[in-house]
Structure formats: structure tokens, C-alpha cells
Amino acid sequence: MERSRSGANPRVLVVLDGLADATPSERDPPTPLETAATPHLDRLAALGQLGIVSVLGPGIAPESDAGVFALLGYDPEHDSPGRGVLEALGAEIPLAPGEIALRLNFATLGEGRRVDDARVGRSLATEEAAELARAITSADLLRDLHIRAEVRATVGHRGVLWLRPEPAGPLAPEISNADPFYERIGGLGHARRPERPTVESVRPLEPSEGARRAAEAVNRFLDRVPQLLDSHPVNARRRARGAKVANGLLVRDAGAIPPAPVAPLRSRWHVAGAALTEMPVERGIARVLRLEDRFVGPLGADREGGYGDRARATRELLGQFPFVYVHLKGPDEPGHDGDAERKRNVIEAIDRGFFGPFLDGLDLGAVRLAVTADHATPCARKGHSDDPVPLLLAGAGVAASPIPPPGKFCERAASRGPLGVRRGAELLHLLLEDGTVPAGR
């Protein structure tokens, strides 16, 4: 692994979750990023250089955790403990050896395990999810298998399924996904678009007793949950007001505590770092990589104020650490919902609310900054894709290069930028290396 270090100038990596759509051809309409009013990002682009990042390579539509691991210079398939573990760590679950954790969505199911809405219309309040989670955990649905099944609600429809064998032998995480929108291949989850999504039966991916028992446990658990949820008062109240019900669960990306810890970012890149995070999975990444974690939680109703708070927190961290990683989730959700107008509005709010105050008074001659995305979430696809994502590099040591047409920070201009096509694993070296990045590099 090639290593680099930052010199006297601090470095900042801003990851805008799901920012990109597919790079448009000449005949394609502009993307939300291309139509968004982003004067602050455009000014950065004029002062620096553009390029694109193929996060994990063609044919792989990464989940956020895998994309971030790649952008931070790690191999997500071999270095990451997996989405389930990262979510568990972010939710402060004390996962122990022999136990497994899975990412969980509350979902709306129809007949025959059909998935009518994988996110309960994005209307499930965190408090409602927590009430449902407590009911599921209290029911002790796997006691006949001598496995304690606990559900922890995190943000909205999201949560973690924690399976603890009591006192049976250890469980193994090498099992397939029940969530039909993510396929597990090797150690990675790949986004996909099934035509008729249904909750899938989980199968062991290796011939071990631990994997066999884990698959059996998850299948039995998912079979037993809908009846409990369907009759729960939370769903009775939701039906009464015409809201979608949370009557099922989707789980994916089982993981376990690895036998050896992941190399901290400081030892891999010779730089101390901090992270500003909004969601449990990002918090889990910060903890695994031993980054100082500034967890701000998801945005509230005051979007502008929330982004301003994040800008101020980033500036504070920048005064304390030579490397700061910032993750802003905003653009991903409207991409999943296929809502191009809302995605454009979110991008504009980030430019105005975050980049405006962050750049105010900042000496770009003393800071190097990269802005990119962990994956593309094209509105036309309503999910992650393997499309490359735009990259903006500016600040200390980065010579300015003219912005290619259409003259602003967007997928089309980035695809023509002088930085060319980069692999996700190259990005941190480009950001952290000492010396200059000449124009047209």
C-alpha cells in the first residue's frame, strides 16, 4: 500500500452522499447537480481542478460504507468488517465474538412477502421505529433456537438486528441478504433493481455450522416478525391516518467482529484525522478507523441552520486535526426517491448552507480540499449505480485549471476535467500528498 502524509497544510475530504447521477451524453438532459445553483462549489472548481472517480470500478454499485472505505484508501472487501458491524458500532451495540449484526430496514410488505415500500414511505418516525423495535426484542422470537434477537432502531426506518447465541455455539456472518435490493457478493453489498421485489430466503454462503444456524435464525425471525408488527398499536395509528404501515423487515450485510482490528487511518496514512458524521454507519467507520468522531446526527427541520452548524464544526475540527473527513447525506435520499427537483434543492442547500459559511474567510492557500461522492444515486434509477462520481480538488498546492463545459461543478464538466479518471483508492493519496498538483495534471 502506497502511503502519503500531509505537510503543514490541513486536508479536508467532503463526501456528498449519492451526489452524482449518470454522466449525461450530449443528448441527455442535465442532471440535478448540473442545474443546481452552486456558486460556492463553482468558485472552488474555478480555483482548482476537476476529474471523476470510479469508486469501486465498473459493474459495482457500492453501498455507502464500501464507497467510503475505498475513498479513504482501504479495500472494502478485505478491510471493512461489513455494513452490519459498522451500523452496530454506530448504534453503540457492544458486539462480541460469536455474535452477528445486520443492517435493517422497517418496510411495508404486501401479499407473498412482496416489498411494497422498502422505507415505509420515509414517514416512519424514529420514535415509532424505537417502539416497534422494543416490541420485537421483548417478544424474544428466537428463544427456541437459544438465540437472543434484539432490534435497535437508529434513524427513521433504519435499524440493526443483533443476534446473540445464548448459550449455543457462535454464529457466522457468511449468509445472503433478505433485502432484495442489495445482493451480497463476496464481502460487498451490491445495489440492484429487482422487477418484483420480495423478501428473500437467507442461505448460508459457506458450509459451516455457524453460517447454517445464522441463516436459519434470520429466516425464522423474519417469518415471525410480520404478525407481531401488523397488530402493533404503532401500525394501528398509522392505518388510522392513512400512512403506510411498517409490517415487515429487510435485513442485509451480516457481519461479525473481525479477528484482527482494521489498521487505523493514522497508521496507514501517517496523519491524525477526525470525522464529522450524521448517520450510524459513518460513525461506525470513524470508530473502526480510529478517527476522532464528531457525530452531529441527521438534519432536523431547519436544514439551512443544520448545514451551517456542520460548517462551523468542520472549521473547528480543521483547527485541531491535519485531516478531516465530512459526510453529508443530503442528496442520496431524493435520488432513491427519483425526485430530481428535491435533489437539486438539497444540493443548492448544501452549497449555500455548508460551503458558503465553511469557505467564508478560509485561506485556501493553507488548506487542500477534495469534494466528491461515495457513489452515484441517479434519479432515473432510484438506487445506487456504478457510474463514476465527480471530483473537485482545490486549495494548497493545486494549480487552477479552466472548468470544462458547461463551466460549473457537475458530472459533465468533471468527466472532461484535467484530473482524469481516478480509482477510489487513489483519492486520499492525491489529497494528502505533499507538493503541488500542476494545472492539467
- The pLDDT value recorded for residue 188 is 80
DSSP strand pairing (292-295 vs 368-372) = unpaired
CA angle, corner 268, sides to 53 and 185, nearest 5? 55
DSSP strand pairing (248-255 vs 100-109) = antiparallel
| Cα 5 to Cα 282: distance, rounded to the nearest angstrom | 23
| Cα 104 to Cα 153: distance, rounded to the nearest angstrom | 9
| Cα 188 to Cα 172: distance, rounded to the nearest angstrom | 16
- The pLDDT value recorded for residue 2 is 39
- The pLDDT value recorded for residue 3 is 42
Query: pTM of the prediction?
Result: 0.93
Block mean pLDDT (10 aa), the chain, length 441: 57 97 89 97 97 94 93 93 95 95 97 95 96 98 97 97 91 96 83 91 96 97 96 96 97 94 94 96 96 93 92 96 96 94 97 97 96 96 94 96 95 96 93 79 53
- The pLDDT value recorded for residue 7 is 54
Kindly report the length of the chain.
441
Determine contact, residues 373/16, Cβ cutoff 8 Å. yes
- The pLDDT value recorded for residue 169 is 86
Domains along the chain?
11-80+262-432 (3.40.720.10), 85-255 (no CATH)
- The pLDDT value recorded for residue 27 is 82
